[in-house]
Amino acid sequence: MKLLTPIQIGNLEIRNRVVMPSMTNNYTKDGYVTQQMLDYYEARARGGVGMICVEDGIVDFPIGNNAKNPVSIDNDKYIPMLTKLSTVIKKHGARAAIQISHAGRRAGRVSHENGCMEVTRGMIPVAPSIVGHPFPGHVVPQELRIEEIEGIVEKFGQATRRALEAGFEVVGLHCAHMYLCGEFLSPWANKRTDKYGGSLENRLRFVLEIIERMKKELVNVPLICRMNGQEPEGGNTLLEIREIARRLQLAGVKAISVSTGFGAVLNERDFISAEAPIGTPEGCIVHLAENIKTGITIPVMVGNMIRNPEFAENVLLENRTDMITLGRPLITDPDWVNKVSAGKVRDIRPCVSCCQGCVGYIAKDLPITCIMNPVAGKEGDLSMQPVPAEREKKVLVIGGGPGGLETAITAASRGHKVTIWEKEQQLGGTVLLAELPPRKNELKKIRDYFSHTVSQLKIEVELGKEANKELIKAFKPDAVVLAIGGQSITPLIKGIAQNNVFLANDVLRNNMTLGEKVVIIGGGQVGVELAELLGEKGVSVTVVEALPSVAGDMSSAVKVLLMFKLEDYNVRLLTNTLAKEIKANGVLIERNDAEEFIEADSIVIAVGSAAQTSLEAELKEFVQEVYAVGDCLKPGSILGAVHDGYKVGLTI
């Protein structure tokens, strides 16, 4: 495979064409690399990747921070831990790179919880112009003075020196995602009238000065640059972007990493975000890399939504790019490259671009994890590593959803004899319903992976088998795991027993026809995704939500696309609204201290689910070990179910 062949960046050979790009993980402490971060990156280096580009090293901490807990490289005190980081990466044959950055105006994010600018520790951010970042909760920045610009150029130079002293073999300059360098490059953010603004030549000046300063430190060490392949209206055109890349090569850059987007909640239609959430086409920005590649001769790398090895190989064979940046898939499965090399592609844990544990956790200032990888960020935690069972146990898992399947796989891999009972005719549980709304069919990859792994481990599966106390007792298990899912909540609303009232899960499961007008009570993820599904079919939909906003349980990267679709289908979203009474022809609601009647053919209840724990107590009478995982224990997400299942699988 071309994907696995070496390539040169400058004078440095990379063992294959897979690059782990910079991704914030929130594992640092006060700017320092931590043991958690060392373990995380070492696992990916051990997994066979060609080069790892460590997340943004901030050249001016904290005013240049891109997140609440970034890596800092603005002081020599950080060098020892950075040295440990480059060492663990190189130890396994991967090349160690670090991207250095200043977040500019994007640093000025106000916390939803306390109204403080926690990212910058209260400092007002800086930018080329007094133009705020177009995200909710961002403050207007200060415009940089000439002497301040010169000072930042020097900070990039000093950061480069520290990177080399720490043993990094490649240094990256972050000019993408509308951080400070990208802000200077783009007329969308740069409104200056001096030598740093106006013409493309002037807008390039800041970045070229930084490169010139970095090159004084970079003796025989390649410099790579990450840049946006597209910008929104008012930004650089595709021709200007191609010219920027050409000028970067002339300035001494040895490779270009192509990205896009300015964050997860840019409300601009048809603009591809850096997060490329679920439903985004595979290879969604390869054409942007091609545009850049036509004007330069140095290697180009691209990713954003490349996860399938066959697709990656074809992109390389067609010469549309030279290298593949593999981000979130390496969070999900650190051994992605090794598995491809061994011909075990079906063994790869799939990234489904759900943006829950990665982008979603970053937005909450939490350390990242992954819906499909409970060990992400816990690679050094011995309690999270599977060890052979002391003795084989007969384990019965009741329920073939994500929590039950993860439990079964983990327990079986440790040497237990595992049987799954599933009342439906196929495995999947909640995933079967979650994959039905528009753009969510990628979730089927979760089912495919689990089914394949269950087969590989020779776990016995009995479909169409509903468990009860007598059957379980006759089976004589040593351990029972309840993974039977939650029970849909029916709220106390007058008239809810009407025959025109249905539960959301039943509507999805049975593909029900509900008439021309539908009211959905509950505006969480299930409710709004069902609203889109019905709207797509031409149904007039109203969503009634008691909270101030809908889809509060969704990652903003995924939510933004959904909200566009709800707008397209004229879905009416009523927040801060209570359903008072259901009648045969509609719903009486209360909002803004006034009542309103909404006509409807059908009313759908989507207010969540409750735990089902009654069987657990009964089983403890005759089974020594009884566990509950997923929604039957505590209603939540697929992420919670998988993580619960993994921990129980380690415990049995």
| Amino acid 122: pLDDT | 87
Q: Give residue-wise pLDDT tens across range 369-394.
A: 999 999 999 999 999 999 999 999 99
Whether the predicted pLDDT of 96 surpasses 70: yes
pLDDT (average), residues 348-373: 94
Distance CA 649, CA 386 (A): 9
Give the percent of the chain with pLDDT over 70: 98
In 3D space, the residue among 263, 304, 264 whose CA is nearest the CA of residue 282 turns out to be: 304
Confidence of residue 557 (pLDDT cuts 50, 70, 90): confident
pLDDT (average), residues 238-262: 96
Cα distances (angstroms) measured from residue 34 to each of 39, 95, 378: 9, 20, 12
Whether the predicted pLDDT of 466 surpasses 80: yes
CB 61 within 8 A of CB 72: yes
Q: What is the H or E stretch that residue 222 is in? A: none
pLDDT (average), residues 331-343: 99
Burial of 391 from C-beta contacts in 10 A (0-12 / 13-18 / 19+): exposed
pLDDT (average), residues 425-439: 95
Look at the block and give the residue holding tokens 């939540």.
636
611-620 exposure pattern, b = at least 16 Cβ within 10 A, e = fewer = bbeebbeebe
| Amino acid 297: pLDDT | 98
Confidence of residue 264 (pLDDT cuts 50, 70, 90): very low
| Amino acid 250: pLDDT | 99
Question: Who contacts 115 (Cβ-Cβ below 8 Å, separation ≥6)?
Answer: none
Task: Give alpha helix (H) positions in 356-497.
Answer: 359-363, 402-413, 430-434, 444-456, 469-475
Main-chain dihedrals φ then ψ at residue 239, nearest 5 degrees: -65, -40
CA atoms within 13 A on the CB side of 325: 25
| Amino acid 113: pLDDT | 62
Distance CA 515, CA 297 (A): 59
pLDDT (average), residues 452-481: 97
The CATH 3.50.50.60 domain(s) of the chain lie at: 501-609
Q: Which two tokens stand for residue 157?
A: 């130079």
Quick one: CA dihedral 548, 554, 557, 559, positive or negative? negative
| Amino acid 134: pLDDT | 78
Q: Give residue-wise pLDDT tens across range 221-240.
A: 999 999 999 998 889 999 99
The CATH 3.20.20.70 domain(s) of the chain lie at: 2-363
Q: Which two tokens stand for residue 302?
A: 């691209």
Quick one: CA dihedral 12, 17, 22, 25, positive or negative? negative
| Amino acid 630: pLDDT | 87
Q: Which CATH number fits domain 2-363: 3.40.630.30, 3.20.20.70, 3.40.50.10490, 3.40.50.300?
A: 3.20.20.70
User: Among this protein's residues, is 78 annotated catalytic?
Assistant: no
| Domain boundaries 501-609, corresponding CATH code | 3.50.50.60
Burial of 252 from C-beta contacts in 10 A (0-12 / 13-18 / 19+): middle
What's the whole-number average pLDDT of the chain? 95
If DSSP codes are grouped into helix, strand and coil, which group holds residue 274?
coil
Catalytic residue among 179, 361, 449, 646, which?
A: 179
The CATH 3.40.50.720 domain(s) of the chain lie at: 387-486+611-651
Q: Give residue-wise pLDDT tens across range 618-629.
A: 999 999 999 999
CB 274 within 8 A of CB 285: no
Confidence of residue 115 (pLDDT cuts 50, 70, 90): low
Instruction: Output the CA angle 122-123-128, nearest 5 degrees.
Output: 145
Give the percent of the chain with pLDDT over 90: 86
| Amino acid 265: pLDDT | 46
Q: Give residue-wise pLDDT tens across range 125-153.
A: 999 999 888 777 788 999 999 999 999 99
pLDDT (average), residues 505-519: 96
pTM: 0.95
| Amino acid 274: pLDDT | 83
Min mean pLDDT across 98-112, 501-515, 582-596 is at: 98-112
Question: Any idea which architecture 387-486+611-651 has in CATH?
Answer: 3-Layer(aba) Sandwich (3.40)
8-state DSSP, 125: P
